[in-house]
Chain A
């Protein structure tokens, strides 16, 4: 199997994965009681909601439509048309419109399509201020913070193994890893906004100011930074003890060259491969932080959509998350082949 074949095969595998995710989400979503129109039961007029159901096709059965099938048979239509009538159901209709690139209308943002809600920008703002852009910005910032903070900490820990420096960094890592982000978020808001007063929490055009991004970035990135530090430390320790590091020293290389060229290049492989899924994890895992800090991103949108039963938005975001994670894992497999000359996909040793 050549590398190209391998990549094609992996890309094709994403299709059944996404289909399964769509199916499961759809089942769970509709198993939850309620619908998009009855959040406020007082306002929901029965006639109006019926009318809305009809408009959006929510009055159809979920998976199969035997009634329409019988109707079509009765009317003496052909096999193909009867078949089409049989699958004239909510799930199939959603999948077919998805294949045409149509994410459907949002049920709660009146008059806006789902793609407009997720990707659209209001009033000529830059593209990164769309819902998805905001979350992506936050995710990338958090990843950069995690790597810029975690990798050096891991390296120093490993080089100074079992010293006070190592234990201090281990302490920070454990804290970063162990304290849940919602606790950490509140804690930092109290410290920086209430006690120190260095950050204003309520302000017009809050997200235009770059200082505002500090806290959510740190809170979101801290567990990832801690993980990166641990990963770097472990893999550095592994490499440091290997024979070829002794070889490098015996060659007469300076300590800096030994660390940078020989140790890091080998030790960072796991860290680099972890960065892709980490970004996917940060982008898909920012529900709580977005909610807490009032970041208008897709995490916040997702939480709102779930409570409002905005079915199409839930489906679109879940599929987006699934696609992102699948692509991140695919990227890891491909990058690995370039990073480590020993890994050649499908080629036998010998």
Chain B
């Protein structure tokens, strides 16, 4: 189980990570008008063998964070250390070779598999480009991978459209596993699936983690799933992490008002308790990431906001043992 797992050292360390998407105007001569500040200064690390959950509302920059760590988007600023190497500085061939060690499982199992390639090609291609296996050996490894993710090895010559959503996600997982990575970013891997299938995929991810000593960054918006799978959880709001701690502390003693509001939204599967559940309803919409509010980004919707929140961006500080919060009031 997650909490008893021994952590030996940091695998991924993110420092001051920013990803801005430029907004341009003009037809032939393009001027940059502004930026969408999707990720705006993140600091955190992921320990070897752990699962770090990343939660937040739609559009808060969770997926961008995952993609920027893997350099699928190049960061605007900041560093991403992977086993001590700064990925943000790697280019071309060097970066390509590093991809062997870090993989991604995508949200949409329907769109993330090339419709014109067979399952065998989809899973086998990384083996070939990273010179892991070729020909007959490749085929054997692909079949083995299919078995590992609970699919029939006989499926190698089929195309993605012949599978159900859950099966496709298993193919996506087999593909990510093919190069035997250390680190996998799971970008909402279950939110496109039926509830009954979600549990299967979660269990599979946990099994695989144990079997292959994987480290996960698990991005999700389903708080109960994140609670189940994560060792530590980071809560994001509008491009920043507002709270980061281990899952017991987060669920039992949430400090940031945004985290409290999020947690109060989880329905409880017991009608008597559910009736008494007090919800903290946030008013207003998430502000635009183009012009985020001054000071603390949450102050426009925060029930506890005081004067200083409008002016000063709160520091992300450690308030308890391994419990980090960015809030003036706490």
Contacts and interface: CB of A to CB of B under 8 A. Distances in A.
Contacts of B98: 252
A249 interface: yes
B106 A246 contact: yes
Contacts of A249: 72
B interface majority secondary structure: loop
A260 B292 CA distance: 40
Given A167-B27, A247-B106, A342-B161, A254 B111 contact: no
A288 to B, nearest CB: 34
A294 to B, nearest CB: 42
A167 B67 CA distance: 30
Interface string A231-258: 0000000000011101111111110010
Given A253-B125, A342-B161, A243 B106 contact: yes
Interface string B24-67: 00011010000000000000000000000000000000000001
A239 B33 CA distance: 28
A211 to B, nearest CB: 37
A262 interface: yes
Contacts of B161: 341-342, 349
B24 to A, nearest CB: 8
Contacts of A254: 96, 129
B104 A250 contact: yes
B112 A257 contact: no
B125 A266 contact: no
A250 B116 contact: no
B175 interface: yes
Nearest to A246: B72
A102 interface: no
B100 A341 contact: no
Nearest to A341: B159
B129 A340 contact: no
Given A167-B27, A265-B116, A266-B116, A252 B100 contact: yes
B126 A251 contact: yes
A164 interface: yes
Contact of B30 (A162, A247, A251): A162
B85 interface: no
A341 B70 contact: no
Nearest to B93: A254
A247 B114 contact: yes
Q: Among the interface residues B111, B114, B115, which one has the most CB atoms of the partner chain A within 10 A?
A: B114
A250 B114 contact: no
A242 B108 CA distance: 10
Nearest to B164: A350
Contact of A243 (B28, B111, B175): B111
B222 to A, nearest CB: 20
Contacts of B175: 247, 251
Query: Which 3 A-B pairs give the minimum distances between C-beta atoms?
Result: A252-B99, A243-B112, A243-B111
Interface of B: 27-28, 30, 67, 70, 72, 96-100, 103-104, 106-108, 111-116, 125-126, 129-130, 159, 161, 172, 175, 179
Interface of A: 162, 164, 167, 242-244, 246-254, 257, 262, 265-266, 340-342, 349
28 contacts: A162-B30, A167-B28, A243-B107, A243-B108, A243-B111, A243-B112, A244-B112, A244-B115, A246-B67, A246-B72, A246-B106, A247-B106, A247-B113, A247-B114, A247-B175, A250-B70, A251-B175, A252-B96, A252-B98, A252-B99, A252-B129, A253-B125, A254-B96, A266-B114, A340-B115, A341-B116, A341-B159, A349-B161
